[in-house]
Amino acid sequence: MRLGIAGLGTVGVGVLDLLEAHAGMIAGRCGQAVVVTAVCARSRAAKRGHHDLSKYTWFDDPVALAQSEDIDVFVELIGGEEGPAKDAVEAALKAGKHVVTANKALLAHHGSALAELAETAGVALNFEAAVAGGIPIVKTMRESLSGNQVIRVFGILNGTCNYILTKMEAEGRDFDDVLAEAQELGYAEADPAFDIGGFDAAHKVACLTSLAFGTRVDYEAIYIEGIEHITLADIRNAGDLGYKIKLLGVAVETGDGIEQRVHPTLVPKNSPIADVDGVFNAVAVKADFADDLMLEGRGAGGHPTASSIVSDICDIARGIVLPPFGVPASQLKPYKRARMRAHEGGYYVSLELFDRPGEVAAVATIFTECAISIESIVQRGPATSGTARDTAPFILITHDTLESAMRQALQRIEDEGHAASRPRMIRIERL
């Protein structure tokens, strides 16, 4: 089986490494040899380890590679939701070529349409590497759980954010300090907004939602909140209360529709996902018959991601062609979005209240009038004095309540002048 690889960065070179290291084993397991015959990249002269690219046919244009008669499978590792990646994948599918991609952005924005193209052509569109790198979550959901109804899927889907939050907790360092270190180590880009803003995780959630609930992909329906505003005080407060803060991507089916959300979350210290630290990812699924399961591993990197890409290639070599999202594209249901403010759960609230009699009682009254039950409220540190307006920091934990009620209460606290700064809340997942 002949491969054409478009994109020879870290992951593309990782694929070449794996295919070279295990050529005989792969041929034995797949029933045929799997060989790279053509490649495409921005620069032919760039160093790519020990690999000699002269033995492959070189293409300057990924669309031309995708349409080449000399390949059976087009491996797209260019990246990006539009432009060359989209054009080349569409060209490959229309030409009757199988496609393997690690492009989460492309799938999040165009997954349903591309699945329809693949189905029409009778070819595979495989994307194990697009979600959580080396973790085989796509195959697990599409195949291993095909007899189950999925209730919820959630996880740590971005290693950059998990690294930053882990370092803040373990070393007592501020967000900006740890972010600068992550950039130096290559875990974060020079412009880190895509990662720390939650957008990378949201692309992965869009794919998981379609796999879990058989709906059309709808990235625009995801509520997205990043970790930019998480402080060291939040990390410490959460720890004292028995929680860790993680950036979670969550998809859950409710009576009102499907929730898709990415946001910082307090998770209990004794929960399995709380132990997933550093650059590692984890995805947890709750299904009706299989119950709870969680997969943890490296969510990025050349070799772990290459492992998932080659797994998809091997399926095609074995003659396995499945609907990309578990059911035929024509049967994917329209996405029905649940109202985010109908979300129900517990909340952590950080308040900088004015240090004067009656403020805590006033806040408690507001929460009562908004039908919110307070689990605990404590002063976290001494009041500040000697300034124009003395203040005191308070942390409040609620029992499960509606997000709409929480937003109403916090807006009242701000509007009625009880706090010196805007109240901040972080959702709690009790898992």
Active site members: 204
Show the beta-strand stretches assigned E in 255-373: 257-268, 280-287, 291-298, 344-354
Residue type, position 249, single letter: G
1: nearest Cα among 83, 94, 72, 82: 72
∠ at Cα 185 (180, 191), nearest 5°? 50
CA 161/CA 186 separation, integer angstroms = 13
Structure tokens at 100: 């393997």
Distances (CA, A) of 183 to 11, 63, 177: 19, 33, 10
Residue type, position 12, single letter: G
∠ at Cα 378 (373, 381), nearest 5°? 155
Task: Please give the torsion angle defined by the CA atoms of residues 214, 215, 219 and 225, in that order, rounded to the nearest 10 degrees.
Answer: -70
Task: Please give the torsion angle defined by the CA atoms of residues 177, 179, 185 and 191, in that order, rounded to the nearest 10 degrees.
Answer: -130
312: nearest Cα among 38, 99, 36: 99
3-state secondary structure of 151: strand
